[in-house]
């Protein structure tokens, strides 16, 4: 991290002045407090400092992650070369910004982290502020799990707003991220829920009253099937509709054209475009303004 690089020489200088104050003359102790305050500032504001630096010096993912995206992420495959670079940069910046916690294994594997990040980057790729920082801790289990909110239900995805935590089962997460037309994408679904929580007052397109019928015609997934994928009976149709907008765009546009147009405006994106889904990169700063 950038702040660690900034802090390292300050720590070394602080160590030198501490030694001088103890071994040579107490006069040198006057330099200790300002150096300590500088380190405290770095510690308190390191997320903001790091984010400022990386926005001006975009990082890239490891080459192995780029290969995974090229092989397995349909959305990424449609992007232009420049937008592929931006996509990878946003994935890496998101990984810097959040904390991953493994449950049931020593740590979360790097490829699973990258697939998690790829879903939120896909969802918000048409906007400038794409992190949605209400949720900055991500807990990943190997398989479906019970939780404090749902102690009797083994489920694969959950958002817990009070603690700003997202929870996923890796097995279902990988299946939905890489084969979203065969396995419902639980990760994109959960980030759609986060979007709705982050921007509840936005003028989302009206789904009408037959949304579950529309969803099944478009995706082939019934409400019951999606509930089984997620592992919970209480499924919010708006987040499902957003998920299938990205994963079944052609049939979505055909069966639900008004909602498709609303989401295209909302996300500044036409996922049907086989060359590049971004409608207008110049409009990203005005999204949700």
DSSP track, 81-148 = HHHHHHHHHHHHHHHHHSEEEESSSSS--HHHHHHHHHHHHHHTTTSS--S-TT--EEEEESS-B--S
- What average pLDDT does the segment 80-92 reach? 91
CA distances from 89 to 65, 86, 116, 185, 250 (A): 11, 5, 14, 22, 28
pLDDT band per the 50, 70, 90 thresholds, residue 289: very low
Convert the pLDDT of each residue in 223-272 to its tens digit. Answer: 999 999 999 998 999 999 999 999 999 999 999 999 999 999 999 889 98
How confident is the model over 55-73, as a mean pLDDT? 85
The structure tokens listed for 210 are 């037959």
Provide the 10 A C-beta neighbour count for residue 189.
25
Distances (CA, A) of 103 to 52, 139, 144, 253: 31, 7, 11, 39
Number of Cβ atoms within 10 Å of the Cβ of 91? 27
* Confidence category of residue 155, pLDDT binned at 50, 70, 90: very high
Predicted TM-score (pTM) of this structure: 0.81
What is the residue extent of each domain of the chain? Answer: 2-53, 63-286
Calculate what percentage of the chain has a pLDDT beyond 70: 89
Q: What is the dihedral of CA 260, 262, 265, 267, to 10 degrees?
A: -70
Q: Which of 281, 238, 263, 286 shows the shortest CA–CA distance to 90?
A: 281
SS3 159: strand
CA pair distance 249, 47, nearest whole angstrom: 36
pLDDT at 121 exceeding the cut of 90: yes
Query: Strand pairing partners for 166?
Result: 138, 159
């Amino acid at each position: 991290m950038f702040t660690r690089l900034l802090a390292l020489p300050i720590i070394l200088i602080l160590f030198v002045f501490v030694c001088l104050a103890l071994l040579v003359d107490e006069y040198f102790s006057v330099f200790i407090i300002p150096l300590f305050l500088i380190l405290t500032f770095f510690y308190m504001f390191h997320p903001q400092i790091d984010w400022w630096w990386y926005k001006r010096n975009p990082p890239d993912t490891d080459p192995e992650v780029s290969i995974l995206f090229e092989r397995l992420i349909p959305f990424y495959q449609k992007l232009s070369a420049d937008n592929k670079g931006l996509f990878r940069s946003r994935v890496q910046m998101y990984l810097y910004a959040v904390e991953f916690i493994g449950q049931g294994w020593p740590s979360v594997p790097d490829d699973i982290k990258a697939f998690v990040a790829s879903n939120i980057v896909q969802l918000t790729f048409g906007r400038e502020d794409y992190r949605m920082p209400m949720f900055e801790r991500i807990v990943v289990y190997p398989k479906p799990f019970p939780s404090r909110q749902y102690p009797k239900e083994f489920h694969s995805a959950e958002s817990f707003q009070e603690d700003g935590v997202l929870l996923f089962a890796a097995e279902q997460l990988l299946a939905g991220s890489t084969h979203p037309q065969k396995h419902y994408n639980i990760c994109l679904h959960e980030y759609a829920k986060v979007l709705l929580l982050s921007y509840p007052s936005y003028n989302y397109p009206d789904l009408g009253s037959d949304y579950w019928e529309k969803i099944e015609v478009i995706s082939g997934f019934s409400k019951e099937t999606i509930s089984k994928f997620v592992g919970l009976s209480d499924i919010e149709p708006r987040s499902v509709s957003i998920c299938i907008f990205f994963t079944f765009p052609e049939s979505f546009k055909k069966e639900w054209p008004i909602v498709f147009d609303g989401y295209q405006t909302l996300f500044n994106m036409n996922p049907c475009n086989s060359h590049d889904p971004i409608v207008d990169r110049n409009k990203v700063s005005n999204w949700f303004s």
